[in-house]
Chain A
Amino acid sequence: MFKMVDVKKISEVEWEIPKTGKMLVPGKIFASAKLMEKIKQDKSLEQVQNVAMLPGILKASIVMPDAHQGYGFPIGGVAAFDIDKGVISPGGVGYDINCSVRLLRTNLKLENIQGKKKEIVHSLFRTIPSGVGRGGKLKLGKDELNQVLKHGTQWAVKKGYGVKEDYECTEEQGCLKNANPDDLSERAKSRGMGQVGSLGAGNHFLELQIVDEIFNERVAKIFGLEKGMITIMIHCGSRGLGHQVASDYIREMENKYGIRELPDRELVNAPIKSELGKKYLSAMACAANFAFANKQIITHWIRQDLNHYFPSIKIDVVYDVCHNIAKFEKHIIDSKEKQVLVMRKGATRSFGPGRKEIPEVYRKIGQPVLIPGSMGTASYVLVGTKKAEEVSFGSTAHGAGRVESRTSARKRLKGENIKKQLEKKGIYIEAGSWRGLSEEAPSAYKDVDEVVRVSHEAGIGNLVAKLRPVGVVKG
């Protein structure tokens, strides 16, 4: 049932799909031979080819080492478009708009939390709403929700849910501009209304971690990370609000532009400069801001909660990165700097030193790149590179990427057993659903160690630190 796709090996970590048929540019895959075997097992490569057929695509249709089959774009897909001739596709951003990761550093060490770990995880589990269909504790009115959609993290900080430094260390300062809440349907808003400040379910999580290994002392120091430090990672997105924005605009673009010429219905698109294209980008920005605010409120609750246990605790934001987003950025095209639209669908921005988009504290060395592992496996902090800007529109991987279907993981594994196995490794977990837990088992994912190794070797995101989980809250 899968189309065989011709792949040419370029190096140990890079492959090419030559331009054929209706492809306007070649495909480029960052992967080792080992990861390539897994990637070939689903429709990822066919989806890379489909993306290469979209009008105005520049240089290559790219996919990261954690690639797996998505809808429209593959997960791990990156593509840049000419602003005049190019298109914007909701399928290039995904349903979970601004599904993203924030890393917090603390002044705690493992010995501070030993003996209290279960209690702390339990308390976080109770404090931060998570799980299927669970809304937040915050009930916002329509006007207030509009402010969230316009101002993101900056709204939350203004409301007392954090400090200026929090949004300064967030991609786009936690607020995508040109976000007009009028471009969202009432349906999208009503799905979001009760969900501000909630984790959600699926692969979203909150993790207590320890900095286990440092690969680059100099950069780690600037990121404020040192061996033995306790960090906290938050992985969540724009919840039902973002999902509805994607569905709404897929429908509107179908109505306006039709689906006949498309290689895949999910790649429905609108010209970037069209009225509808602009409206989608505005609605997407609103959903992204919702996700930014969401993590800021969760951060605030974590601070409040841990303050009960450690009155002198200090919790700072290391960085906060987007995984599913489209953004206007400057890149070198045909030896000239040019403004283009970059879509990252399950990929992380990985800008090197000097870019003005990077917070001043990190600007000299490149941005922090946060790569969450799957539940119970390590997560990584990388640093963005100039090379990434040259070869992948400043992008690298975003996580482990699935290899096993949820139904098969569920049949094979029991949630309670996974909990026990993790506890043996010193990882305490609280989850909303044991049955759901089996679907997120570590063995259902690609090897995150291999994913970051490829990123490092390809030079599109270099290793800085390894974070090992000690406590997990899952929806």
Chain B
Amino acid sequence: MRYKFLKHTADIKFQAFGKSLEEVFESAAYALANIISKDKIKNRIKEEVSMQIKGADKERLLCDFLEEFLFLFETKGFLLSSIKKLNIEEKSGAYFLKGDVFGDKADDYELDNHVKAITYNEMFVKQVGDKFICQVVVDV
């Protein structure tokens, strides 16, 4: 299981899982795509985007990484289909993410939720044993 949804009164809360920091970030990105559209996103490459993001901590990096998808969705109609590669490095206390992602055209799918923002509410990114878990609440 890459992610699961949890109970929240007004917004949408999920936890995502992975064996590495990169994997947990990938899972979170797929969870977000699933909130926007419950359709199965075809692995067609209509758009390829390269990302470079810096964050003062892991939560901040995750927040900014996911927000990038909201921006791509609203400005380009980009819906995540697959993540080509993702790399996260820690350098002198800050986190650096580099990634290439593929997306399909949102117009071709039924869209379920308009995600307004990624919030810090109840957010965490942590390592439990050899697994990584993150939790995110998005404002819809």
A residues adjacent to B (C-beta < 8 A): 41-42, 68-72, 75, 95-96, 131-133, 187, 190-191, 195, 200-202, 240, 243-244, 246-247, 250-251, 254-255, 264-266, 402-408, 432-433, 435-436, 439, 475
A240 touches B74 (CB 8 A): yes
Residues 3 to 38 of chain B near chain A (Cβ within 8 Å):
5, 7-12, 36, 38
Contact yes or no, A95 B9, CB < 8 A? no
Question: How many residues belonging to B are interface residues under a CB distance threshold of 8 Å?
Answer: 36
Are A75's CB and B10's CB within 8 A? Answer: yes
A-B residue pair count with CB separations less than 8 angstroms: 108
Residues A95 and B71 in contact in the complex (CB < 8 Å), given A254-B60, A406-B12, A407-B5? no
A1 to B: closest C-beta gap in Å: 10
Give the distance in Å from the alpha carbon of A75 to the alpha carbon of B119 in the complex: 14
Interface residues of B in 70-129 (CB under 8 A from A): 70-71, 73-75, 77, 106, 110-114, 116-121, 123
Establish whether residues B120 and A265, one from each chain, have CB atoms under 8 Å apart when the complex forms: yes
Can you name 24 A-B residue pairings with CB atoms under 8 Å? A68-B10, A69-B9, A71-B139, A72-B121, A95-B139, A131-B111, A132-B112, A132-B113, A133-B73, A201-B113, A264-B121, A265-B123, A266-B119, A266-B121, A405-B10, A406-B140, A407-B5, A407-B7, A433-B110, A433-B111, A433-B112, A436-B112, A439-B113, A475-B114
Residues of B within 8 A of A200 (CB): 114
Say whether B67 faces chain A, with CB atoms less than 8 Å apart. yes
Q: Looking at the assembled complex, report how far the CB atom of B109 sits from the nearest CB atom of chain A, in whole angstroms.
A: 10
Q: Nearest chain A CB to B43's CB is how many angstroms away?
A: 20
C-alpha gap A201/B9 in the complex (Å)? 18
State which of A69, A266, A433 has its C-beta within 8 Å of the C-beta of B120: A266
Question: Of B7, B12, B139, which is in contact with the most chain A CB atoms at under 10 Å from its CB?
Answer: B139
Q: Is the contact region of chain B dominated by helix, strand, or loop, or is it mixed? A: mixed
Contacts of A250 in B (CB 8 A): 120
In the complex, are the beta carbons of B10 and A402 less than 8 A apart? yes
- Nearest A residue (CB) for B106: A133
Q: Please tell me if B56 contacts chain A, counting CB pairs below 8 Å.
A: yes
Q: Which residues of B contact A70 (CB under 8 A)?
A: 10, 121
Quote the shortest CB–CB distance from A346 to chain B (angstroms): 10
**Judging by beta carbons under 8 Å apart, are B112 and A247 in contact?**
no
Q: Given B9, B64, B119, B123, which contacts A42 in the complex, CB threshold below 8 Å?
A: B9
A44 to chain B, nearest CB (A): 9
Chain B contacts for A195, CB-based, 8 A: 74
Interface check B41, CB cutoff 8 A = no
B137 beta carbon closer than 8 Å to chain A:
yes
Closest B residue, CB atoms, query A204: B114
Chain B residues with CB under 8 Å of A202's CB are 113-114, 116, 140
The answer to whether B113 and A243 touch across the interface, beta carbons within 8 angstroms, is: no
Query: Are the C-beta atoms of B77 and A243 separated by less than 8 Å?
Result: no
Chain A residues contacting B59 (CB-CB under 8 Å) are: 265
B114 touches which of A72, A132, A244, A407 (Cβ 8 Å): A132
A201 CB contacts on chain B under 8 angstroms: 111, 113-114
The answer to whether B116 and A96 have CB atoms under 8 Å apart is yes
Question: In the assembled complex, how far is the CB of residue A211 from the closest CB belonging to chain B, in whole angstroms?
Answer: 29
Instruction: Tell me whether B5 and A246 are in contact (CB under 8 A).
Output: no
B46 to chain A, nearest CB (A): 15
